[in-house]
């Protein structure tokens, strides 16, 4: 009986890039922020040259990982209109989704701390932060029109303060050696955000 030869399906460029990003994220988590291109290529089943072809260098891979992290974050937290009759009701649900995402994604402490000073990460975070503040400002202006937040408040500054405060609160909790309670963190962050929206 003739032996059948099974041809492995060739990956598209997009599939290959996605695989490299996935394996890079796993390596960054496992190695506390370290990333070696040769190791990455081996884990992705690629030649090192092909890995460089898609991402040019280590910095390009890390930037792609951080961008992917924020793509997933924005899909689950930012680009959603949560249910609720008031801004406060909707945003409490957003805070819960945000804390869940940050606490449950193993890349969060790596990006927030170990990679935080790398130029490629700073560039991606700066670009993403600007978009998030833009959307927060738009969200707060909508709440002001609905009467849920005073029109006297500076919508852009208020949005930036909320986003920054949430980030630092999450980072502080993650650096607490895993002793924090996730539900308590949600409650404390929401209490602060709600107070800011009312003051």
- Helices 58-73 and 37-44, axial angle in degrees (round to 10): 60
pLDDT at 178: 61
pLDDT surpassing 70 at residue 130: yes
How many alpha carbons fall within 13 Å on the CB side of residue 40?
33
Q: Are 74 and 136 spatial neighbours (Cβ–Cβ below 8 Å)? A: no
pLDDT surpassing 60 at residue 8: no
Distance of alpha carbon 148 from the chain centroid: 28
Please state, for a pLDDT cut of 70, what percent of the chain lies above it. Answer: 93
pLDDT surpassing 90 at residue 108: yes
pLDDT surpassing 50 at residue 5: no
pLDDT in tens, 55-106: 888 888 999 999 999 999 999 999 999 999 999 999 999 999 999 999 999 9
pLDDT in tens, 21-46: 999 999 999 998 899 888 898 888 88
pLDDT at 2: 53
Distances (CA, A) of 118 to 71, 113, 114, 133: 19, 10, 9, 22
User: Which pLDDT band holds residue 156 (cuts at 50, 70, 90)?
Assistant: very high
CA 192/CA 180 separation, integer angstroms? 17
Q: Where are the beta strands (DSSP E) in the chain?
A: none
CA 69/CA 67 separation, integer angstroms? 5
pLDDT at 9: 60
Q: Are 58 and 34 spatial neighbours (Cβ–Cβ below 8 Å)? A: no
pLDDT at 6: 43
Nearest to 104 by CA among 178, 42, 168: 178
pLDDT at 133: 96
Distances (CA, A) of 31 to 34, 38, 76: 5, 14, 26
Q: Are 175 and 113 spatial neighbours (Cβ–Cβ below 8 Å)? A: yes
pLDDT surpassing 80 at residue 152: yes
| pTM (2 d.p.) | 0.86
């Amino acid at each position: 009986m003739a032996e059948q030869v099974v041809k492995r399906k060739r990956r598209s460029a997009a599939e290959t890039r996605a695989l490299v990003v996935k394996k890079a994220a796993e390596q960054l988590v496992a190695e506390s922020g370290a990333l070696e291109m040769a190791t990455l290529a081996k884990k992705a089943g690629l030649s090192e040259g092909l890995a460089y072809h898609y991402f040019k260098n280590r910095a390009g891979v890390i930037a792609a990982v951080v961008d992917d992290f924020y793509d997933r974050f924005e899909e689950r937290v930012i680009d959603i209109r949560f249910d609720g009759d008031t801004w406060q009701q909707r945003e409490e649900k957003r805070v819960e989704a945000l804390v869940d995402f940050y606490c449950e994604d193993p890349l969060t402490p790596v990006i927030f701390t170990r990679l935080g000073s790398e130029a490629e990460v700073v560039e991606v975070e700066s670009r993403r932060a600007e978009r998030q503040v833009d959307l927060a400002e738009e969200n707060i202006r909508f709440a002001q029109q609905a009467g849920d937040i005073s029109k006297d408040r500076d919508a852009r500054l208020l949005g930036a303060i909320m986003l920054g405060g949430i980030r630092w609160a999450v980072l502080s909790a993650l650096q607490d050696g895993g002793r924090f309670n996730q539900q308590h963190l949600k409650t404390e962050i929401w209490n602060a955000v709600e107070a800011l929206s009312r003051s």
